[in-house]
């Protein structure tokens, strides 16, 4: 066999992962908090990157929001549906206090607050009862107030409604409301509130500020809480026909209030969830809005750009600046791609799960990552990255994006049910019957079968455990 040297040409194709592509993929899977940390780190390392201070970050412009048109159906007012602001209104105070927290007064207040928190050995309930014991009030009223204190959760809120308490302990609502008023007069201000609005309004009553500003702050809390959460300062100013500067003064007062009055007594960890996107209905149209207040707007440093354009800049400096400017542009572009893809995916979810957003969790439909990937002509892994560790604020609360994906359960009535909607049904069945009968898992399976949904008893048991509901023999 004779070996001869030969030269052959062969054409091949392969995907090269550029640094820019790697960065874009990494950004895609970051949660909002992780992205905030990444931005902070990049700002420290790259002098060519800076926060765009000129952009008004007090409002989320609807010009930049992605709007999805749908048929105008029945109104779903968040107030009517039990919309719980407490779960995510905290983010407003975190962000706002971060801005005003640079003053010496605020730092001093923060230091004193932390010192006070460390020094406390008593619980919130003990602190409230000790104040109550020193008050000269009717003994029966004091006893009712003590009972109400036992229903205050670690964050300082009344855990049950007055109606529920009245039924549970057999006391007329009128008497309970009188006792609640007494509890709400105790320290810390805002304790015993039934919702975030009442909590903030109670604290306003204790402030020594300009009466007109206090009145405006009260109106904002009562009527414009949602716009305040979204930092729509201009819209609030137009509504009350005052200047933006006056609204900002009122908001500064509101930002000093404590959304969780029992926090200083709480020894556990508080996990903050910042929604990545917000879905809300305005004038019959569903809007998908990125949570811009959580992520600062970035730009390339203008001084560095001017040096790059200046012909007198020496080569060594120019090369250094060019690399930093390109890195900044790439970083900004990756964030914009993340935002754009996130909105596209959320819009697709909204289209597929319209009944959920109109009526609630019970109406969630079967949906897979592959369904959304095909709809958007994206890879399934991209959808997985986008929905990982992301949250959406809806009229029914804050949900993980992964929540909207679940498998289909077969039924005999030709309806499609997701595993999540079945769980909601199981929860409703247990709540409906547990006042009279404590249904076994088999009985729940039988009731579902009557509705055309055939699942095994062990599946009911699994779903019940997922809902953190005890078995029938322990639900007493």
Average pLDDT, whole number, for the chain? 77
Using CA atoms of 351, 391, 276, 28 in order, give the dihedral in degrees to the nearest 10. Answer: -90
Task: Give the pLDDT band of residue 101 (cuts 50, 70, 90).
Answer: very low
∠373-378-382 over CA atoms, to 5°? 85
Per-residue pLDDT at 61 = 34
Per-residue pLDDT at 116 = 39
- E strand or H helix at 400: strand 397-400
DSSP-derived secondary structure letter, 195: S
Per-residue pLDDT at 351 = 93
DSSP symbols for 214-230: HHHHHHHHHH-HHHHHT
Q: In whole angstroms, what separates CA 276 from the centre of its chain?
A: 8
Residue predicted with more confidence, 90 or 299: 299
Report pLDDT digits (tens) over 442-465. Answer: 888 888 877 777 778 888 888 887
Per-residue pLDDT at 182 = 94
pLDDT greater than 90 at residue 294:
no
Per-residue pLDDT at 84 = 42
Residues whose CB is less than 8 angstroms from the CB of residue 316 and which lie 6 or more positions away in sequence, other chains included: none
Residue predicted with more confidence, 225 or 239: 239
DSSP-derived secondary structure letter, 67: E
DSSP symbols for 247-267: HHHHHHHHHTS-S-TTGGG--
Query: Model's pTM, two decimal places?
Result: 0.48
Report pLDDT digits (tens) over 104-150. Answer: 444 444 443 333 333 445 688 888 988 888 888 888 888 888 888 88
∠125-128-129 over CA atoms, to 5°? 85
Is residue 342 within 8 A of residue 390, CB to CB? The reply is yes
pLDDT greater than 80 at residue 155:
yes
Per-residue pLDDT at 73 = 35
Per-residue pLDDT at 284 = 85
Measured distance CA(130)–CA(267) in Å, rounded = 20
With CA atoms as reference, report the closest residue to 55 among 287, 295, 254.
295
Measured distance CA(271)–CA(264) in Å, rounded = 15
% pLDDT > 70, the chain: 76
DSSP-derived secondary structure letter, 205: T
Per-residue pLDDT at 275 = 86
Per-residue pLDDT at 292 = 72
Per-residue pLDDT at 12 = 57
Q: Which pair of tokens denotes residue 179?
A: 């006792």
Cβ count within 10 A of residue 74: 6
DSSP-derived secondary structure letter, 364: -
pLDDT greater than 90 at residue 20:
no
417 forms bridges with which residues in the sheet?
409
Please compute the mean of the pLDDT values over residues 403-424 and round it to a whole number. Answer: 68
With CA atoms as reference, report the closest residue to 247 among 280, 217, 282, 223.
217
Q: What domains are defined for the chain?
A: 19-55+297-404 (no CATH), 86-264 (no CATH), 408-474 (1.10.10.60)
Per-residue pLDDT at 177 = 93
Please compute the mean of the pLDDT values over residues 272-297 and round it to a whole number. Answer: 83
Residue predicted with more confidence, 110 or 191: 191
| Helix/strand/coil percent split, the chain, to 5 | 55, 10, 35
Using CA atoms of 220, 223, 226, 231 in order, give the dihedral in degrees to the nearest 10. Answer: -30
Question: 305: number of CA atoms within 13 Å, CB side?
Answer: 8
Cβ count within 10 A of residue 413: 8
Residues whose CB is less than 8 angstroms from the CB of residue 154 and which lie 6 or more positions away in sequence, other chains included: 124, 262, 265, 266, 268
Residue predicted with more confidence, 472 or 327: 327
Cβ count within 10 A of residue 394: 25
Per-residue pLDDT at 473 = 66
Q: Which pair of tokens denotes residue 219?
A: 């109106």
Kindly report the backbone phi and psi dihedral angles of residue 74, in degrees, each rounded to the nearest multiple of 5, phi listed first.
Answer: -60, 145
Report pLDDT digits (tens) over 325-364. Answer: 999 999 999 999 999 999 999 999 999 999 899 988 878 8
Residue predicted with more confidence, 388 or 466: 388
398 forms bridges with which residues in the sheet?
393
With CA atoms as reference, report the closest residue to 428 among 356, 362, 475.
362
171-181 burial by CB neighbour count: b if 16+ within 10 A, else e?
A: beeeebeebbe
pLDDT greater than 70 at residue 373:
yes
Per-residue pLDDT at 342 = 93
Residue predicted with more confidence, 73 or 425: 425
Per-residue pLDDT at 64 = 35
Per-residue pLDDT at 376 = 92
Please compute the mean of the pLDDT values over residues 160-187 and round it to a whole number. Answer: 87
């Amino acid at each position: 066999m004779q070996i001869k040297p030969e030269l052959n040409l062969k054409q091949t194709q392969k995907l090269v992962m550029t640094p820019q592509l790697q960065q874009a993929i990494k950004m895609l899977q970051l949660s909002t908090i992780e992205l905030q940390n990444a931005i902070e780190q990049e700002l420290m390392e790259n002098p060519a990157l800076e926060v765009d201070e000129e952009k008004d970050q007090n409002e989320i412009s609807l010009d930049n929001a992605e709007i999805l048109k749908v048929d105008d159906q029945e109104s779903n007012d968040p107030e009517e549906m039990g919309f719980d602001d407490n779960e995510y209104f905290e983010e407003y105070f975190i962000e706002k206090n971060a801005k005003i927290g640079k003053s010496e007064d605020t730092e001093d207040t923060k230091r004193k607050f932390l010192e006070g928190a460390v020094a406390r050995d008593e619980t919130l309930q003990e602190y409230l009862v000790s104040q109550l014991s020193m008050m000269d009030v009717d003994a029966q009223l004091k006893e009712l107030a003590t009972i109400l204190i036992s229903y205050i959760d670690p964050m300082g809120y009344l855990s049950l409604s007055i109606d529920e308490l009245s039924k549970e302990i057999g006391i007329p609502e009128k008497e309970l409301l009188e006792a609640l008023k007494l509890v709400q007069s105790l320290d810390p201000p805002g304790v015993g509130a039934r919702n975030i609005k009442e909590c903030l309004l109670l604290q306003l009553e204790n402030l020594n500020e300009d009466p007109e500003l206090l009145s405006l702050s009260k109106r904002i809390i009562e009527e414009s809480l949602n716009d305040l959460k979204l930092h729509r300062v201009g819209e609030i100013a137009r509504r009350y026909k005052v200047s933006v500067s006056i609204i900002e003064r009122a908001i500064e007062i509101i930002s000093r209030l404590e959304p969780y009055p029992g926090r200083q007594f709480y020894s556990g960890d508080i996990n903050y969830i910042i929604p990545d996107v917000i879905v809300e209905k305005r004038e019959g149209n569903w809007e998908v809005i990125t949570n811009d207040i959580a992520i600062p707007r970035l730009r390339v440093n203008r001084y560095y750009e001017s040096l790059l354009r200046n012909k007198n800049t020496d080569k060594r400096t120019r090369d250094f600046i060019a690399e930093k400017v390109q890195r900044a542009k790439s970083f900004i572009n990756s964030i914009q791609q993340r935002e754009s893809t996130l909105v596209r995916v959320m819009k697709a979810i909204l289209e597929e799960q319209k009944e959920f957003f109109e009526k609630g969790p019970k109406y969630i439909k079967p949906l897979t990552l592959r369904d959304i990937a095909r709809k958007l002509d994206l890879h399934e892994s991209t959808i997985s990255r986008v929905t990982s560790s992301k949250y959406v604020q809806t009229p029914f609360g804050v949900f993980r994006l992964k929540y909207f994906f679940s498998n289909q359960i077969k039924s005999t009535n030709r309806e499609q049910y997701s595993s999540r909607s079945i769980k909601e049904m199981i929860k409703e069945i247990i709540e409906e019957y547990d006042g009279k009968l404590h249904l076994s898992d088999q009985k729940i399976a039988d009731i579902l079968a009557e509705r055309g949904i055939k699942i095994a008893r062990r599946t009911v048991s699994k779903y019940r455990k997922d809902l953190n509901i005890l078995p029938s023999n322990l639900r007493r």
